[in-house]
Amino acid sequence: MKHPIYLIILVLFFSCKNNSETKPETPAKILKTPSVEAVENPTGINSHLPRLFSNGEQLYMSWVTRKETTDYLNYSVFDGTNWAKAETVTQGNDWFINWADFPVISENNGTILTTYLQKSDTATYAYDIKFNIYSAKTKSWKKNLKLHSDNTKTEHGFVSVAPRGDGFEVAWLDGRNSGGGHESHEGHGAGGAMSLRSAFITSDGNIVNDVLLDGRVCDCCQTSMAASVNGAIVAYRDRSEHEIRDISIVSKAVPGHLDNNIQTVYNDNWKIAGCPVNGPSIDAFDTSMGVAWFTAADSEGKVKASFLGSESIEPIRVDNGNATGRVDIAMISKTEALVLWMEPKGSNEVIILAKITAEGKKVSEVIISETSPERASGFPQLEVLENTAYIAWTDVDGKNKSIKTATIALKSLK
């Protein structure tokens, strides 16, 4: 569940984290190994790209299913006992389908927002962000609306959403200044810089307060957002003029009062010429906020996490060595969080869930599942509903893909 936070403590948050001193890093000791329960879900064959959202009372999941040449965006709602019948929101045969940049779902007092990416040109990286919104008032959908105001044939994607007020804060990577150039996932940049933008979508689908948050960011790492009563906090991978690509946070205040106080979460000083396609995750509980991220600053993949504003200056390293990343985080109290990530195990990958504390400790860890090392396995998802953690991921078996889900009771993560 994504809980409210308060912007008045951001100065304390940021001052605690922008520290360049380093200490020897070793993976944290594993103290417990709880059990994991596989659960059924309403997805079918040829389904992939799951996305989870919890409002504290219900769990929403969206996913994409391909039939021949057509892609279908579906969703279902879980009430803690049963999944509702799956519904198709929209479909198309001109979508941009990508293992790392996939649809988002969110809900706010009965209003549902989903997104997808639609090709805008024949160029590989030319596509628009489209959104669909279901109004709790009218009991109807408005579909296939464009999020961004520009008409450039460039890349737009990596959307994050947080419910706030009567609608949704939305952030995304925007290529309108890139001139059609794209920084490949393995190569060097081309064209102008990718930017980070944000807007507010009202419950009736209107777009307001469309603003620039950062004019130079990493081209293809996921964004993540947590909401507060006064605004929203966006976590993303930044990009300096010297190609340092560490994780930053920027706050978006109430409409007309943008606070562009961009802050580095921690100075990993990862210098890399191409985008690693491995963005951060941020979540909040009451007045506390946690961030998890991947870095390979010293040529070893690591997953780190910080409780912003805690007494511990150094982030905790949560992986067990040579991590792949693909992180997610869920705060479960002011001083506790769950972190999900992937790391190698033999010729395969494993999806791992750990519980960490604001004191800088990893108190428990469990392997959720083995998974394919292929990109098609995507980014596993984590949400908490009541006293249970829910995990969803894409299972790859040759050319076949399906979505798996599992649960673990929070009380077992001691």
Q: What pLDDT is stored for residue 311 in this prediction?
A: 61
Element (H, E) at 134: strand 127-135
| Domain positions in the chain | 7-412
Distance CA 67, CA 58 (A): 29
3-state secondary structure of 411: helix
* Unique residue bearing structure tokens 């509702």: 84
Distance CA 221, CA 232 (A): 19
pLDDT tens for 259-317 read 558 999 999 999 999 999 999 999 999 888 999 999 999 999 999 999 987 666 689 99
HSE value, Cβ hemisphere, 13 Å, CA-based, for 1: 17
Q: What pLDDT is stored for residue 25 in this prediction?
A: 66
Question: For the chain (length 414 residues), average pLDDT per consecutive 10?
Answer: 42 41 49 80 96 97 97 97 97 97 98 98 96 95 97 97 95 90 47 92 95 95 86 92 96 57 93 97 92 97 90 85 97 96 93 95 95 95 97 94 97 90
Architecture of domain 7-412: 6 Propeller (2.120)
Distance CA 398, CA 379 (A): 18
- Can you read off the two tokens belonging to residue 51? 């996305």
Q: What pLDDT is stored for residue 41 in this prediction?
A: 97
Query: What single-letter DSSP state applies at residue 116?
Result: E
* Unique residue bearing structure tokens 């300096």: 240
> What is the value of pTM for the model shown?
0.90
Report which of 16, 12, 15, 18 is spatially closest to residue 264, judged by C-alpha positions. Answer: 18
Distance CA 65, CA 12 (A): 44
Q: Are 61 and 51 in contact (CB under 8 A)?
A: yes
pLDDT tens for 131-179 read 999 999 999 999 999 999 999 999 999 999 999 999 999 999 999 998 7
Beta strand pairing status for 281-285 and 325-331?
unpaired
Centre a 10 Å sphere on the Cβ of residue 99 and count the other Cβ atoms it contains. 16
Q: Are 264 and 238 in contact (CB under 8 A)?
A: yes
Tell me the CA distances in angstroms from 237 to 158, 172, 261, 344, one per residue in order. 11, 12, 15, 23
Q: Are 2 and 226 in contact (CB under 8 A)?
A: yes
Q: What pLDDT is stored for residue 308 in this prediction?
A: 85
Distance CA 304, CA 295 (A): 8
Q: What pLDDT is stored for residue 287 in this prediction?
A: 83
